[in-house]
Chains A and B, each alone.
Chain A
Amino acid sequence: MIKAENICKSFNNGTVEVLKNISLEIEEGEFAVILGASGSGKSTFMSILSGLERPDSGKVFYGNEEITSMNDKLLTDFRRREVGFIFQQYYLLPHLSVDKNVRMGADLAENKNYREIIEKVGLADKLKSRPSELSGGEQQRVCIARALAKNPNILFLDEPTGALDEKTGRQVLDYIMQMKKERNFTMIMVTHNANIAEMADKVIKINSGEIEKIYKNTSPKSAYEIGW
């Protein structure tokens, strides 16, 4: 279980208050969506939850482990063990092939069978391509493979379809859901798209750095059932 308690964060010496006392819980294996308008603080919150950044005050727990009290080394170890990331801007290593980009994740978990995942996202014939030679949808699929190759227990996604058109966007979401079904990791996705939120088990709606409401979907939809 992931638990955030009273998270506050501001920038520019406290003048820009981005997160105001956010608390929530996410169950193991759950698919949670953090929904909110652009600039509402979603990405900031996600990087605090995932140990990329520290809050000004408040705590984040994974089970009994408090990651907000860890030093840099422990935090790096934690990310290595537990989390995977998928970002809107991909952040692939531009000078390495698809194969080696995915291997970046795989080596962290000593995963020797990572090429299976590349096959599963449909990129078996692109192993040797560089990211700049791929379409947006293909690049995002490399990111999925890279994140999953390290066998994360929690997958964080920041607007994973933000740069994609409807068709590729749905396809990417579908790949992600298939993988989730297979491996049953916890998934936390940030989006401004209320349609995508209908796919989640739990929705956390954020407005100007505060939780507006938290609700559960009784019957989550698939990537092809939601509007766009």
Chain B
Amino acid sequence: MVISLKDSLKLIGIIIVSFCAVFVCTFFLNFYLDASKLEGAITDSEIIILYDAQMATAKFTCAITGGFLALIAVIMLIFYIKLYIDGHSKQLGILKAMGYSDGKIALRFAVFGISVLLGTALGFGCGFVIMPNVYKSLTIDGLPHIAITFHAELLIALIVAPSVLFSALAVGYAYLALRRPVSEMLRGKTEKKLKNRKIKEDKERAFLVEMLFKTLGGRKSLAFFIAFACFCFSAMIQMSVSMLDLSTVGMGAIILVIGVVLAVTTMLMATESLIRSNIKNISIMKAFGYSLKESSLTVLGGYHIFALIGFAVGTVYQYVLLRVMVDVVYKDVVAVPEYNFNVSVFFITLAVFIVFYEAVMLFYTLKMSKISVKEVMEEN
């Protein structure tokens, strides 16, 4: 069968994302649930202020990381399945031709939910491992020591529910994506026919120019994924630096580390898919005598604009998100933390981003140039 456990394990990006999300949420939510038992027992008004602020921070951190990371995981998963179906359209077409129904094939995609199960389970476990330290650092002077209790509802909310949901999502999306004529799939047609708003073919446009335009136009999903990865990079790094101020420093540091890991993971995943889905075209061009520079620039160069757009949107997004969350979550809390747009962080992130993006592209292009043209062409 075409889809195997190995394919699921290849979803390292999703494993990492779900690990991070659940890791952070586990100890914060657990702390939140345990600490909320104290409510009403506290009488000292100064301690109540501290206590409220801390509960708000826990809620805040969970909402931001959990919500944001869940969104990333969803997009990554959908994108991965799309690439998988496009890349295996012939094999899947043969299964359909042999009489497997769309539903039956789509059901196999449930195996992708396993990567989420793996990530969330690991995250949950690790969350519990560091929980004693978290509790210690979060306990307010003057309050009784808070004991760690196990909450079964968290187990369900953070592991079972996401795994089931993601499996269902994978099956549902695969089902929709598979509903195409067998003949088209066997011919290896990927994107649906772009009848309307097709980029006008310029009769006299040189090949390299045409290639640049058509590669971008024909692979909207890839352009989107690149933009999305850059969006994540921009949003996560800037947001986690702000969290250093908004959350406790220790938690802020954890979130920053997670932010960097995720930013790098999504970028690597996106650039790798970009290169992987274009490597054949680059190889054909190389075989005919176009230089590596010509081939890779025409195929990859056009994505720069999407990368920058993604970065810009990410910057705006994280600002708005933090602004709204600070205003809403800390509404009733006396000690509202300061939050302003951090200009120097913005420029530093932008500079790091540009260097990182170019370096990754260059790295993959060079790595690719080591593979002989024949090898690329022969692997199907």
Which residue of A73, A81, A84, A104 is within 8 Å of B207 (Cβ)?
A: A104
Contacts of A72 in B (CB 8 A): 292, 369
Q: A96-B210, A103-B207 known; A81 and B374 CB under 8 Å?
A: no
Closest chain B residue to A156 by CB distance? B287
Among residues of B, the one whose C-beta sits closest to the C-beta of A150 is B288
The answer to whether the Cβ of B291 comes within 8 Å of any Cβ in the partner chain is yes
Residues of B contacting A195 in the complex (Cβ-Cβ under 8 angstroms): none
Would you call B211 and A96 a contact (CB within 8 A)?
Answer: yes
Q: Is the CB of A76 within 8 A of B290?
A: yes
* Residue A224, interface by CB 8 Å: no
Partner of A105, one of B187, B281, B288: B288
In-complex Cβ contact of B373 among A47, A103, A105 (8 A)? A47
Q: How far is the CA of A119 from the CA of B278 in the complex (A)?
A: 30
Q: How far is the CB of A38 from chain B (nearest CB, A)?
A: 13
**Number of residues from A at the complex interface, CB < 8 A:** 36
Q: Which chain A residue lies CB-closest to B285?
A: A104
Q: Within 8 Å of chain A (Cβ to Cβ): is B280?
A: yes
Q: Is the CB of A52 within 8 A of B289?
A: no
Q: Does B206 contact A (CB under 8 A)?
A: yes
Q: Is the interface of A mostly helix, strand, loop or mixed?
A: helix
Q: Which of A98-134 contact B (CB under 8 A)?
A: 99-100, 103-108, 128, 132
- With contacts A103-B207, A104-B207, A107-B207 taken as known, whether A91 is within 8 angstroms of B284 at the C-beta atoms is yes
Please determine whether B281 and A93 come into contact, CB atoms closer than 8 angstroms: yes
B176 within 8 A of A: no
A34 to B188, CA, bound (A): 30
Contact status A96-B286, CB under 8 Å? no
Picked from A47, A99, A103, the residue with its CB within 8 Å of the CB of B374 is: A47
Q: Is A94 an interface residue (CB 8 A)?
A: yes
Contact B292 A76 (CB under 8 A): yes
Asked if A97 is at the interface (CB within 8 A of a chain B CB), the reply is yes
Q: Which of B208, B280, B286 contacts A76 (CB 8 A)?
A: B286
Q: Let me know if A93 and B374 touch, CB within 8 A.
A: no
How far, in whole Å, are A96 and B378 apart by their CA atoms in the complex? 21
A91 with B377: CB separation less than 8 A: yes
Residue of A nearest to B374 (CB): A47
A77 at interface (Cβ–Cβ under 8 A)? yes
Q: Which residues 295-350 in B have Cβ within 8 Å of A in the complex? A: none
Give the residues in chain A near B287, CB-CB below 8 Å. 52, 79, 85, 91
List residues of chain B with CB within 8 A of the CB of A21. none
What are the residues of chain A within 8 A of B215 when measuring CB–CB?
95
Q: Report the nearest A residue to B289, measured CB to CB.
A: A80
A interface vs B, CB < 8 Å? 43-44, 47, 52-54, 72-73, 76-81, 83-85, 87, 89, 91, 93-97, 99-100, 103-108, 128, 132, 150
5 cross-chain CB contacts under 8 A:
A47-B372, A53-B372, A72-B292, A100-B211, A107-B206
> What is B's interface to A at a CB cutoff of 8 Å?
184, 187-190, 201, 203, 205-208, 210-211, 214-215, 218-219, 280-281, 284-292, 369, 372-375, 377-378
Sort A-B residue pairs by CB-CB distance and give the 4 closest, nearest first: A80-B289, A79-B289, A95-B218, A47-B374
